[in-house]
Structure 1
Amino acid sequence: MARLYISLGSNVNRQHYLHKGLTALEALLGELTLSSLFASKAVGFDGAEFYNMVIGATTELNIVQVTKALREIEFTNGREIDAKKYSPRTLDLDLLLFDDLVLDTPAQIPRAEITENAFVLWPLAEVAPELKHPILKKSYQQLWQAYDKKQQQITTVDFSWSSQL
């Protein structure tokens, strides 16, 4: 069984797509560990505020199967196949970590966004505080403590989701 972490974000009909994304991820992966939900300004473009969280899960699927399934979930939930990198998202699912693998294909693992964006690092530090970054060899809690929190302003948002399991 592999342990993986996924960043989930939305800035279009956010509550709706968060629930749809979580339901689809639970159907794919089973029991999910959820971070708090965070609100942040769009990065890289002018757009509506994003909701973001990180989900932890275990799977018997391989990394190729997981990355393909995440894309299918995005497309099923209104993501355009040719969407620009910095643009509004109904649902954005990024595989952050897959065990302690370090890869460039089929996805960049670990994702560079982990150390670049507060809306990825803070929720990851919540769900996996003692886990160490496979390249930097520091825990996500240590990385979050050292992060320049003035760089990006994010806030927690009240959120509840009922598991279908």
Structure 2
Amino acid sequence: MAQVYVSIGSNQDRSRYIRASLDALRTAFGELLLSSVYESEAVGFDGDNFYNLVAGFETELSVGELSRCLKAIEDDNGRCRKGPKFSGRTLDIDILTYDALTGDREGVQLPRNEIVKNAFVLLPLAEIAPNVLHPVLKTSYAEMWRDYDRDQQLWSVDFEWAGKQVSKAI
């Protein structure tokens, strides 16, 4: 079984699509390790604020099979792939890491570069996997967050899923 971390984001009917993604991921992979849900401004385009979080789980799927599964979840939730790359979306699920694999694996670049670029990826990853080492940099996600240049603002939001409080607003 491979340990996988994925980022999840939505800026259209955010609560609905984040919950739907978590339902689908739990159905496909079982127990999920979830970060808090964070709100942040859109990065790379003008648009509504996003909700973002990171989920961890184990899978027997290959990287390519996992990527196809995540795209199917996005598509099942109304993801439009015809617009510009940087635009609003119902759901975006990206593989951040797959065990300690690196490089291009079945069309997926591992680890995902957004880990070191975006606070809305690094903070939730550091929250649920603080002592895990980045496969290339060999630095823990907690250390990476501590040293991160906080140029992007994000804040935790009240969020419930499956009868449990996932996060609270601070």
Structure 1 gaps, min length 5: none
1:57 aligns with 2:57: yes
Show CA shifts across 1:62-111 (max 9, x none). 11110000001101100113232100010000000000000224211100
Output the CA distance in 2 between the equivalents of 1:159 and 1:103.
34
Residue 139 (structure 2) pairs with residue 138 (structure 1): yes
Change (3 A) 1:75 1:8: same
Q: What residue in structure 1 maps to residue 168 of structure 2?
A: none
- Which residue is equivalent to 1:120? 121
What does residue 43 of structure 1 align with?
43
Q: Distance in 2 between matches of 1:71 and 1:103?
A: 20
Match of 1:67 in 2: 67
- 1:11-160 maps to which residues of 2 (within 5 A)? 11-105=11-105, 106-149=107-150, 151-160=151-160
Considering fraction of residues, name the structure with more strand: 2
CA distance in 1, matches of 2:129, 2:3: 11
Give, in whole Å, the separation in 2 of the partners of 1:72 and 1:41: 26
State the TM-score, normalized to the length of structure 1. Answer: 0.96
Distance 2:126 2:15 in 1: 23
86-95 or 105-114, which moves further after superposition? 105-114
> Which whole-Å CA distance do the structure 2 matches of 1:127 and 1:12 have between them?
25
Q: State the SS of the aligned residue for 1:6.
A: strand
- Give 1:2 deviation, angstroms: 0.2
Identity of matched residues, %? 50
**What is the total number of aligned residue pairs between the two structures?**
162
The secondary structure found in structure 2 opposite 1:125 is helix
State the distance in 1 between where 2:103 and 2:40 align: 28
Structure 1 residue matching 2:110: 3-state secondary structure: coil
Query: C-alpha separation between the residues in 2 aligned to 1:130 and 1:40?
Result: 25
Q: CA RMSD in A?
A: 1.0
